[in-house]
Amino acid sequence: MKKNGRVRVVVTGMGTVNPLGKTLDEYWDGLIEGRSTARMVEGSYATEKLNTKFACEVHGFDPTLYMDRKAAQRMARFSQMAVAASSMALADSGLDLSKEDDFRVGVDMGTGIGGFIEMTGGAISYATKGRLNPLYAPMIIPNMAAASVAMAFHLRGPNTTVTTACAASTHTLGDATRIIQHGDADVMLAGGSEASLCEVGISAFNAIRALSTRNDAPEKASRPFDRDRDGFVPGEGAGTLVLESIDHAINRGARIYGEVAGFALTCDAFHQVAPDETGEAPARAISLALQDAGVEPRDLDYVNAHGTSTTLNDAGETRALKIALGDEAYKVAISSTKSMIGHLLGAAGAVEAIATLLTMNRGLIHPTINYENPDPQCDLDYVPNVARRKDVHIAISNGFGFGGHNAVVVLKKYEE
């Protein structure tokens, strides 16, 4: 089935491992309750030398619930989480892989860094002991999450990895959609995974002053669009969405969460880590994505913002929304998932797209928590602190990354 001359692509399954939970319901309940997951780090890595001593961690993650112990030992944490999220997404979709042509099922995974915990641990081991894990190289490279998912489920279709920093897994949703529309696959697992919480990783972000240092109240540290924001809170996790052509989904009687209706990419071409304060490039991405979906700004019900809680990003994203949406920017509901789970870097977009689709299906918009002091530069409706009941038919999810990468996906409630 085609619309406007192209194959329609729908989402039929979702899975996530993130600081709020390891199932969709745990994740959703935490979002609607407005629960912060930022806590002081205790034991997972040393914080004595760090300016930021807290994070949004995934506690109690057991990879052997999703794979055998030998396979888990051969994977970095980010790959383990990718396989776990993909296992849940496939189960949620009801897809029977035994009935599929495995060359027609592919994987597109995003990550900002790859196996950073294992990379730094291995480097320290080599420098101090002269030893490396024999699997060091294949464990740490960024493509190994996508490769591990493919090997876990014997998926031999298109397989790729996107590393456009914090835009990566929003980027994968668009790329996977186009792979299906081009006819190269019937089903794609699209998403992202990130596990970079370690002393070196936090120190690196501290060095560029990107992180909050609110060590006296970590649960209040992630406060997107608030006047007193002082940086993002680091997090970890993974999210996978099962994308299918609409004919494939209908023919197997799949439950459909929504449709990937539009997508666009732009680049600031401005700075390594700072966004262009004009907001012009992300605004163009928003406009082009809406155009790709065939919808107008007035049709938009909800924006899942990139909303990092950094001074420059939040002001720039607000400016971009005003440029792209005009007066409609003041009427649309906007919220930031990162206010509760922190910044999952390359995994953020997928996990936030899952939140957006759950919003469509459950008629509630999760809040932006810790929004206490309005910022004159951020004067839109950020759904402060309390969830809001609203029917959402059309939404966008924004992903903006270091290097000026901008990715925007348009999601629509499914209609025949």
Are 314 and 343 contacting, i.e. CB atoms less than 8 angstroms apart? no
Buried b (16+ CB within 10 A) or exposed e, 135-153: ebebbbbbbbbbbbbbbbb
Catalytic residue from among 56, 166, 198, 378: 166
CATH code, 265-403: 3.40.47.10
CB 177 within 8 A of CB 74: no
Question: Does the annotation mark 306 as catalytic?
Answer: yes
What are the extents of the domains in the chain?
9-251, 265-403
Fold of domain 9-251? Peroxisomal Thiolase; Chain A, domain 1 (3.40.47)
Our answer to whether residue 343 is catalytic in this structure is: yes
At residue 207, the pLDDT reads: 97
- Let me know if 166 is a catalytic residue: yes
Tell me which of 56, 171, 198, 343 is the catalytic residue: 343
Residue 2 has what pLDDT? 63
Name the active-site residue from 248, 306, 366, 405: 306
CA–CA dist 373, 109 (Å, integer): 37
Compute the distance between CA of residue 273 and CA of residue 316 in angstroms, rounded to an integer: 13
Cβ–Cβ under 8 Å, residues 95 and 274: no
Digits of tens for pLDDT over the chain (416 positions)? 666 679 999 999 999 999 999 999 999 999 999 999 999 999 899 999 999 999 999 999 999 999 999 999 999 999 999 999 999 999 999 999 999 999 999 999 999 999 999 999 999 999 999 999 999 999 999 999 999 999 999 999 999 999 999 999 999 999 999 999 999 999 999 999 999 999 999 999 999 999 999 999 999 999 999 999 999 999 999 999 999 999 999 999 999 999 999 999 999 999 999 999 899 999 999 999 999 999 999 999 999 999 999 999 999 999 999 999 999 999 999 999 999 999 999 999 999 999 999 999 999 999 999 999 999 999 999 999 999 999 999 999 999 999 999 999 999 999 88
